[in-house]
Amino acid sequence: MSELIDNRKHRQEVLKGIIRDIHRGADPDDIKRRFAELLDQVGATEISAIEQALIDEGLPIEEVQQLCDVHVRVFRESLDKQMAAGDVAEPVEAHPVAWFKDENQLIGGLVEGIKEIVTRISELPAGTDITAELGEWRKKHTELGIVDAHYARKENVLFPYLEKNGITGPPSVMWGIHDVLRADLREISQLIIGSEKIANPSLNRAIADKVIPTLNQISEMIYKEENILLPMCMETLTADEWDEVAKQLKDPEMATYKAPATAQDEAGPHQGLVNLDVGALTPEQINLVLTHLPLDVTYVDEKDEVKYFSLGKERIFERTPAVIGRKVHNCHPPTSVHVVEQIVSDFRSGKRDRADFWIQSQGKFILIQYFAVRDREGNYRGVLEVTQDAAWVRSLEGEKRIYDEGK
């Protein structure tokens, strides 16, 4: 057994060296030759372990993210061999992994459909009416919006369980790529909206420089997900964790794959009172109060772990139960982690007690506030995040002193 472990460690060290050489711009053919000499196959978990080790050694996540496509190209032949040989376990019907693959099939079909449309547009003579083609493109591009929700389910459901099992680097790398693709898709939306109704060189350049590369990257993400991420999850997550994942996906097709009820579920609401600074409430009443507030509340404790979030009727930002116990810096994309860490650092040191942000998204004016939580002795006990759509507050004018029924 120790010999197997030593061989794997040696292989990982050599593979890390190969990736470092890729980073330095080594010849790809030479890299592939060295890789072929090293081994016939490398698993998804090993690739992820290598990326994790590089991050742990100080290579910035952004740089690993840039190298990710190169890693996959170098190791692709090995991964394809494993899939063809059936070395990677296939999920049973109704397993969450099967659901992710089904959705990938839908995304892949949309990508190919859009490629066919934009290729047709590019081949038309300048000045040709493309009203019909733009309509087709707009429709399929809107349907491709499923990508955002698909990526969010990976980020909010799958990634937390990998992190609980000590795998943090690869999810961060993949999340960063998700955000790049989201931004690219938004840019393409504006391109479609602002496009002339006739074929023209400017549109052709945009298709070649932005649209096709983005579609190819979405296809590459499907490959990475199905050949690296999902096999790694299959190797890592326990049956109980998969039960929890299935429950959180909230998909009607997952009805046969629900986690069993816990003793707490069967016991019903607790009857004991919780003494507060003023008054006393049952846990059920506390939960009712928090879920009926017209805002979202998330609490992160002094150890930087998410301990609670409210489940109101409409959350501004998606949360799933998998986030409970997750380190707060893992709950954000790599591009904003430094902001989160600075807020927590300033709150912990006592430099600040509050931080406010506001953004406009999907017709909403979103106010995001962070408050330092301290006990009576002034000790830092965590962060409270409060989020709300404040558009209606901004629109208020004058005064309202009369109760109007039905309003």
The CA angle 4-8-12, to the nearest 5 degrees, is 170
Up-side HSE of residue 334: CA atoms within 13 Å toward CB? 21
| Residues ≥6 apart with Cβ < 8 Å to 57 | none
- Distance between CA atoms of residues 247 and 229, nearest Å: 20
Tens digits of per-residue pLDDT, 168-215?
Answer: 888 888 999 999 999 999 999 999 999 999 999 999 999 999 999 999
What's this model's pTM, rounded to 2 decimal places? 0.73
pLDDT at residue 56 in the model: 76
pLDDT at residue 262 in the model: 42
How far is C-alpha 379 from the geometric centre of its chain's CA atoms?
33
Tens digits of per-residue pLDDT, 342-364?
Answer: 999 999 999 999 999 999 987 88
pLDDT at residue 80 in the model: 66
